[in-house]
């Protein structure tokens, strides 16, 4: 679960952002001032930070400048929130280290979309060699992790191996016997329902996309559809 820092002195806005991002599966740590956030940011190493510009004590821009000097978090994506809507203020904010800028009042849905967009870019930049990305799905063989829209999906070992094998054979019909041999290492007729159970579990964990990603080809096997492919 990716950690996001929210530094906002208005309690109502702070809790609104916390609730919205938590509903997308992110872990949120909220602060009402910059100083306590800076004290633990290198230890926590959040995936992204959202800073209000006008904070008590150290302001948001000064805090961002401090972050850019910290080796462990110098490339941290930062979104600035402010009531100032002049172009000059936005340029100053971006020049001093902010990655994005939103003017109050703002839509929490748009903020969440921007958070996802920045995290996608950052994760792509950090994407380990050998990782497999299929549309919104990212499979990382080195760590055996799977992400959908940059949110981790917790799979069993067999579920992971099954998903990875199907994705490596995207847009191809893979026979049931071939899958059983590859993933379980043996052939058998009567117990092949274990494959169906694992497919069902995978679809559930992939949410509303599961049935679209993994199609049953009746009487043959299964087919993984990559984004943009046609049946």
Q: Worst-scoring range by mean pLDDT, 23-32, 117-126, 201-210?
A: 117-126
| The pLDDT of residue 228 | 47
Please tell me whether the peptide bond between 120 and the residue prior to it is cis, using omega within 30 degrees of 0: no
Q: How far apart are CA 127 and CA 99, in angstroms?
A: 20
pTM of the model: 0.57
Average pLDDT over the chain reads 87
31 and 8 part of one domain: yes
112 and 163 part of one domain: no
109 and 205 part of one domain: no
H-type alpha helices, 68-192: 87-95, 108-126, 157-168, 176-179
77 and 38 part of one domain: yes
Q: How many CB atoms lie within 10 A of CB 134?
A: 19
Which domain range does residue 166 map to? 132-224
Q: What is the pLDDT of residues 84-137, one digit of tens each?
A: 766 656 666 677 788 888 888 999 999 999 999 888 878 766 666 678 888 888
Is residue 136 within 8 Å of 213, Cβ to Cβ? no
Domain count within the chain:
2
Q: What CATH number is given to the structural domain containing 89?
A: 3.40.50.2300
């Amino acid at each position: 679960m990716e950690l996001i820092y929210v530094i906002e002195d208005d309690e109502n806005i702070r809790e609104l952002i916390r609730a919205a991002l938590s509903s997308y599966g992110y872990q949120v740590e909220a602060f009402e001032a910059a100083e306590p956030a800076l004290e633990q940011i290198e230890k926590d190493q959040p995936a992204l930070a959202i800073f209000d510009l006008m904070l008590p004590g150290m302001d948001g821009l000064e805090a961002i400048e401090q972050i850019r000097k910290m080796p462990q978090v110098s490339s941290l994506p930062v979104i600035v929130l402010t009531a100032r809507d002049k172009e000059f203020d936005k340029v100053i904010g971006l020049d001093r280290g902010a990655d994005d800028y939103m003017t109050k009042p703002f839509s929490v849905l748009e903020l969440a979309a921007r958070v996802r967009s920045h995290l996608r870019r950052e994760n792509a930049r950090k994407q380990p060699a050998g990782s497999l990305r299929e549309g919104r799905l990212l499979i990382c063989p080195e760590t055996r992790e799977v992400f959908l829209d940059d949110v981790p999906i917790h799979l069993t070992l067999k579920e992971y191996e099954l998903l990875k094998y199907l994705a490596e054979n995207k847009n191809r019909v893979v026979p049931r016997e071939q899958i059983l041999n590859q993933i379980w290492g043996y052939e058998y007729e009567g117990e092949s329902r274990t494959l169906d159970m694992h497919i069902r579990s995978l679809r559930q964990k992939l949410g509303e996309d599961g049935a679209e990603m993994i199609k049953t080809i009746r009487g043959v096997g299964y087919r993984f559809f990559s984004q943009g492919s046609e049946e």
